[in-house]
Structure formats: C-alpha cells, structure tokens
Amino acid sequence: MTPRAATHQSSRATARVGPLVATHEPKQLLDVDALLDDRSRGIIVCCGSGGVGKTTTSAALALRAAERGRKVVVLTIDPARRLAQSMGIEALDNTPRPVPGVKGKGGGSLDAMMLDMKRTFDEVVQSQASPEKAEQILKNPFYIAVSSSFAGTQEYMAMEKLGQLDKDAQHTGRWDLIVVDTPPSRSALDFLDAPERLSSFLDGKFMKLLLAPARGPARLMTAGFGMVTNAITKIIGAQVLQDMKAFVAAFDTLFGGFRQRALRTFELLQDRRTAFVVVAAPEPDALREAAYFVERLRAEQMPLAGLVVNRVSSKPSGDLTAHAAMTGVEQLRTSGEDHGLAAGLLRLHADRLTVVEREKRLTRRFGTSHPDVPTAVLPALSTDVHDLDGLRRIGDLLGAQVDHRPARRRADQAG
Amino acid sequence: MPAPRAESAPDFPGVQLHIVTGKGGTGKSTVSAALALALASRGNTVLLCEVEGRQGIAQLFDVPPLPYEERRVARGTTGAGDVYAMAIDAESALLEYLDMYYRLGRAGKALDRFGVVEFATTIAPGVRDVLLTGKVYEAANRNRRNKGAREYDAIVLDAPPTGRISQFLNVNTELAGLAKVGPIKSQADVVMKLLRSSRTAIHLVTVLEEMPVQETGDGIAELRGADLPVGGVIVNMVRPQDLDAAERAALLHGTVDREALVASLEKAGISADDELVDGLLEEGHDHAERRQLEDTQRALVEQLGVPTYELPLMPGGVDLAGLYELAEALCEEGLG
C-alpha cells in the first residue's frame, strides 16, 4: 500500500496537477463502446460525488456491455427504488441475480446485486477466523457497531465485494466484466481511502495500545500511556473500553488477513484490467470533486478511462442571443397586447442559453486543466430513468459520443 | 408556487435550530445559506454551520475557507442581524470538548499522538456525529455565564444528505450498542434532547424529480419514526412558470398557432425564420414535458403534509446576488 499522510481534510490542499497553460487541441471524446468491448478490461469502477447520476450511469454501462455480448455483473450501492425493481434487485441479499429483459447478444448476460455491507463484513470475518472465534467477534457490541455504522464501512465493503466478485469471475467464468457503483460519499475520494483507513487503524498505535496490557509490560508503558488510558476511560467509559479490548484481542489474529485483502484490492484497482469512469454533473461542486478524483487516480497510478458529464443542457438551435431574446420580451411587454406564448418562449430561450453558457464555462474549466481526460457529455433528459428502456437510451447516448458509422449513414440520421 | 402568506411572519417562531438536509445535488448548502440570511434579515444573530468539510459556505459567500471558528460572513444593515459561519470538524470538536470538560491540555495532545483522536473521529461508530452535533448544541446553549461567548438567536446547520440524516441526528441510538453509560452517553443524551425538542426543525430540500421527492418522503418518515421534528420541505430549482396550461398543452401536442407566434415575434423585433421558430417550439415542448413531470412530483410533495416553500431555478448559477434573492424569496414565503 502506498504510504500516505493521515486522511485529514488538509490533505486536499494539494497542488494542481496538469498543464499550466491552455492548449487548443480538440478535446478527446470518451469512446464508451470501445471501452465496453475491450475484453482485457474486466472491471469498470464508476465514481463521483453524490447526486450526479452515478448509479444510473453504471447500470446503463452494464446493460450496454451485456447487450454487446459481455457477461456482466453490476454491483450497485443504493439504486432508486423503481430502478432497482426493474432490475429485479429489490432484495438486499448480496446475491447477483439475472436482470430480466436483457437482450444479450452473442452470449451476453447481465446480473445485478445490491451491496449488504454488514453481511459482507460478517463474511470476511467468517472466512478469516475459526468458527468459535468468528462467533465471538460477531457478537461483540463494538464489532456490531463498527460493521453497521462506521463511516467508511460501506466504501470498504464495496471494495471487498469487488475483490470477491473478481475472484469468483476468475474461477467460474460466470462473468467477464464487473461494473461497480461506488457509495454516495461526502467526497468522491472517501472510497479510495476507506480500505487504507481501516487497515491503518487496525495496524495503528491505538490498537497496540489497547492490546498492550494484555501482553504484559510493554515499552508503551510510558508516562503518556497511563494518561491516555485514563482519558479514554473518562470520555467513553470503562465498559466501552472493555468491549473494545475484547474485540481487538479477538481480532488480533485477523489483522494480517485484513491487511492482505486491503492490499490486494488496492492492487486490483491499479491493475490494467480495471478502468475508472469518473461521473459528474455540470455543477461547480461535482466538477471540483471530479478534478480531485482524476488527479488522485493519476497519483495512485490507477487507470482512468474518462469522465462522463451527465445532465448537460443542449444548446438550442438558431442564433438568437439571450440578450436579443430578452429585448424582444421587453418590447412585447410594453406593446400592451397579449403575446404570452411568444414572450414565454423567448424567456425560456434566454434562460436556456444562460444555462448552456454557464455549463460550458464550468466544463471548459475542467477540460483546460485536464485536457487529456476523454470526456462524454450526456444531454439532460426531460424525464426520469427507471427502466431498462431508459437505461438503453442512456447507453445509446454514451455510445454515440464517438461516431463509428460510415459518413453517409451519419448524414442520413443527423438531426 | 404556494400563495405568499398574507403576513410574512416566520412559520417556525419558537425554533432556534434549523437543520437543513436534502439529496445530493438538490442545493441544500445554498438553501442553508439563504435561510441564514433570511433569518438575519429579521434582526437575528445567526450562526451557519457546515459539518462535512466541503467548504460550501465559503464558496457561496466568496470568502476564504472557514476554520473551526465563528467568522462573520454577512453583516446586516439597520435592524438586521449578522451571519456568522463555521466549519465544524470532529477532530477540533473533540479536542475542544476534552479541553472544556476535562481540561486535558497535555493529555489531549498525547491522545492525538496515540491515534486516539483519529480513532474516535473516523472509526468509533457514532462518536463523530455526537461530536459534530455536540458543537451545535454548545452554540445553541450559550448564555451570559459563558464569558464573552456570542449568543445566537438562530443556528442553521447544513447537515449531511437525506439518506444519512436520521442516523446522523439519532446519535443516541447509534451509540446505544456501544456506550450504555459513561460521559459520551450523557453528552449524546443532552444533544438528543435539544434535537427532539420544539426548538429544532429539520427542513428537507428537494427538486421536482422522482428520486429526490421519493427520498424526501422516505426521509420524513424516518425522521418521524425517530421522533425528530420535521420542519418544511423546500422545493429548489423550480422551472419558470411563464407559460399557462393551455399554452403548454398546445406545445406538447404540436397545435401551436404558428402564424400567430411568428407575428408576435416580428412584433418583438425578431425576424422569425423557420429555424428559429422550430427551435423555440422544441424548447417549449421540452419545457412543457418537464413541467408535467414537475406537477406530478409537486402533487406528491403536497401530500407529505408539511409546509412547502419553492425557490426558482437560477439559470446563471447562484452567486452572491442570487443567494440574497433566494433569501428574499424565503422571507416572503414565511420561512426564516
């Protein structure tokens, strides 16, 4: 694992990475179909901040891959109810199930599953410890609390599950592509840090401190030690400390295994078989998160496939400017006659142009500082997506970024 | 849009702590900031807090990143109060807490060195949330006995998203499995008492789309289940309401009187060629479709049985001026 400073907020104040002057090369388009058809890619991880359409994007990618002949499993975290229903994954049971209605061509298939983080954690414990010991751990109040609500457990378990699915896929050949949706973290980076955070905790001084008394007079019995245990007892109470000690003592032998697994997951994410797709919306926060993520992936040498910007407003046709439209509205208003429809349409037109202009500015800012990130831009749809047809539509839009059709057909279908 | 209340009297008169949540991407930070301004405009001294380390407040108010310290971000003119803001992080809250209650100056540092602070704030379940809400509690309960501490009439908390809000606020239950007794448990108890009291209102921000509205409904049910006081629903980014029902129907069904439209456009001094008219009609069609979806969702929001407020979509994004406009809208609608 790459050594890193504590995952503190201050670590985000990193220097900008990328070219320092604008280049005027045409921006690269993300060739989604080439990515999905590339048999050497076995894992696609979708990440980005909350509310940008990550779950929908990963489901659409998975469906498109399946219908192009891949054997796909998609791991979702928290899909919208109707989308989950239409994919047949209402039950949160950690079991991949075939999605009904997939038109898998050439052996393609799609399974979907929803992550149950507690169960995943339990399974890891059970696979690492003897039955008696596992039971002891699973019953510990401290473990129960950590496994169900530790900020970061979900991220960690998503990565753990990815590792398991990958192993399963390699063994059985049931899947040749795993698409992973990442948890809706506060920050897009949380999910990369979670495994490390947990393993550094398990490995950390604090754990050693808790174990120290059980191991007799250790070197840790310094002046600071008594002070620290006293303070902990004062703050959290003796009972909690007792539970924690019992947990740590039982968990001690599992540390090695946990660290190993975290390390393997990290390596898997760095492997060329993996591709990251960063998802964003044309909003300042979402694009800022995307930029952090892109730079972080680079720093960790993790393979970045590209950026998907969802819900982009499309430019209206015609060359009427926002200013001209609003001047027209003003003129109609002073005319004293009823021109409601025309005025309304002109105002909509002006608003739309303003939105388009703003989104363009925001995405251009990203593109200028990260010119080599292939990008796919998806237009905002006027309706919600909650079935396979909706996912197919998104998939078509994703696939249509790079035009592979012969020029003549392209002209026929334009517009 | 709901009819503006006759008197723009605040709807939540006894409430001191306004907690704002919402699904990611619905603009809960923007709404929190606008609410803080609205409350201050009525003469209140307001504290606006964020707890997720995103520095959203600083960006909205165009000030440098906020520290763990109350900084004035907006100053009211005659009769209006000031808005202070701070970014609460668990690490600082823990060290402050230790210092306040245990006077652990040196031991506090030792705890940090032994990884205890990191443990307590990132790993120990629930502890982080108790620390964050605990700081809010402290700010809400200042009185003259605290030397020199500023007293706040209102506190606005830009809280975690809807999916996590019940867990975040329900610090008691979260800790229950872990600490049944002890100081951290007592701390959780007093915080919980404030959060469940009539001094608190939890507002949910949504947009008129299926998933956010559904999540809002789920969130309200969850909050009520946890005995936490639900305030209002703020519907953000509402599309402009220029076109009436008949005009929208004509746009949807393609039955617009094209000649009349061209005549109107000419009157507006715009030369209306086919391309332009087609473009406008297409935009109008999209808009009408969108409004239809919004109306369906609005009906669902109205069924939630809580006061609702609507804020307009800002095509150019929310800058400082836009923020003040949103605050004005909230005032007019009676929130804040």
**pLDDT tens digit string along A135-150?**
988 988 778 877 776 5
Query: B274 to chain A: nearest residue by CA?
Result: A318
Which pLDDT belongs to residue B8? 35
CB neighbour list of residue A365: distance below 8 Å, 6 or more residues apart = A287
- The model's confidence at residue A308, banded by pLDDT at 50, 70 and 90, is very high
Which pLDDT belongs to residue B263? 94
Which pLDDT belongs to residue A405? 60
B311: pLDDT strictly greater than 80: yes
Express each pLDDT in A193-245 by its tens digit.
766 666 666 666 676 666 665 444 444 445 566 666 777 777 667 777 777 77
Which stretch of DSSP H or E encloses residue A105?
A: none
Q: Domain of A94: which CATH number?
A: 3.40.50.300
Residue A181 inside a domain? The answer is: yes
How many angstroms separate the CA atoms of A375 and A391, rounded?
19
Structural domain for A386, as ranges: 27-192+255-319+364-403
B105 against B309, higher pLDDT: B309
Selected for mutation to probe chain A from B116, B164, B168, B213 (highest A CB count within 10 Å) is: B116
pTM of the full structure: 0.86
Mean pLDDT score, B26-53: 94
Length reported for chain A: 415
How many angstroms separate the CA atoms of B57 and B163, rounded?
21
Express each pLDDT in B17-38 by its tens digit.
999 999 988 999 999 999 999 9
Express each pLDDT in B99-140 by its tens digit.
777 776 666 667 776 677 777 776 665 778 888 999 999 999
Length reported for chain B: 336
Do residues B160 and B21 touch, judged by C-beta distance below 8 A?
Answer: yes
Q: How many CB atoms lie within 10 A of CB A15?
A: 5
Q: How many CB atoms lie within 10 A of CB B101?
A: 12
Asked if A209's CB is within 8 angstroms of B182's CB, the reply is no
**Which chain A residues are closer than 8 Å to B122 by Cβ?**
7, 151-152, 197, 201
What's the farthest any 2 CA atoms get from each other in chain A? 93
CB neighbour list of residue B23: distance below 8 Å, 6 or more residues apart = A50, A51, B161, B162, B163, B205, B206, B211, B212, B215, B216
Residue A204 inside a domain? The answer is: no
How many angstroms separate the CA atoms of B133 and B55, rounded?
18
Paired tokens of A368: 């200028």
CATH number of B17-242+305-331: 3.40.50.300
Mean pLDDT score, B58-85: 92
**Which chain B residues are closer than 8 Å to A231 by Cβ?**
98, 102, 104, 107-108, 110-111, 116
Distance of residue A408 Cα from the nearest chain B Cα, in angstroms = 24
CB neighbour list of residue B276: distance below 8 Å, 6 or more residues apart = A317, A318, A320, B265, B270
B208: pLDDT strictly greater than 90: yes
Mean pLDDT score, A66-93: 82
- The model's confidence at residue A327, banded by pLDDT at 50, 70 and 90, is very high
Residue A342 inside a domain? The answer is: no
Amino acid at site A118 = K
Amino acid at site B91 = E
Paired tokens of B320: 């400082």
B78 against A358, higher pLDDT: A358
How many angstroms separate the CA atoms of A208 and B114, rounded?
9
Paired tokens of B216: 């809002």
Q: What is the mean pLDDT of chain A?
A: 81
Parse chain B into domains and list their residue ranges. 17-242+305-331
Residue A184 inside a domain? The answer is: yes
Q: ∠ at Cα B32 (B29, B38), nearest 5°? A: 145
- Residue A72, φ and ψ in degrees, nearest 5: -115, 145
A253: pLDDT strictly greater than 90: no
Domain count, chain A: 1
- The model's confidence at residue B330, banded by pLDDT at 50, 70 and 90, is very high
Partnered with residue B18 across adjacent β-strands are B156, B201
Do residues A191 and A160 touch, judged by C-beta distance below 8 A?
Answer: no
A107-121, A154-168, A394-408: least confident range: A394-408
Distance of residue A173 Cα from the nearest chain B Cα, in angstroms = 35
Mean pLDDT score, B173-192: 76
Query: Which residue's structure tokens are 């009823």?
Result: A338
Nearest to B157 by CA among B31, B275, B270: B31
Amino acid at site A73 = V
A309 CB burial (10 A radius; 0-12, 13-18, 19+): buried
Residue A399 inside a domain? The answer is: yes
Interface predicted TM-score (ipTM):
0.85
Query: Which three-class secondary structure state does DSSP give residue A1?
Result: coil
How many angstroms separate the CA atoms of A180 and A112, rounded?
10
Query: Which residue's structure tokens are 């609460």?
Result: B88
Mean pLDDT score, B137-145: 83
Residue A341 inside a domain? The answer is: no
Express each pLDDT in A261-277 by its tens digit.
777 888 888 999 999 99
Which stretch of DSSP H or E encloses residue B73?
A: strand B71-74
Selected for mutation to probe chain A from B86, B119, B255 (highest A CB count within 10 Å) is: B119
Do residues B26 and B205 touch, judged by C-beta distance below 8 A?
Answer: yes
Distance of residue A175 Cα from the nearest chain B Cα, in angstroms = 30
Q: How many CB atoms lie within 10 A of CB A20?
A: 6
**Which chain A residues are closer than 8 Å to B283 by Cβ?**
316, 345, 348-349, 352
Asked if B118's CB is within 8 angstroms of A206's CB, the reply is yes
Which pLDDT belongs to residue A88? 76
Which pLDDT belongs to residue B20? 98
CB neighbour list of residue B63: distance below 8 Å, 6 or more residues apart = B71, B73
Asked if B107's CB is within 8 angstroms of A149's CB, the reply is no
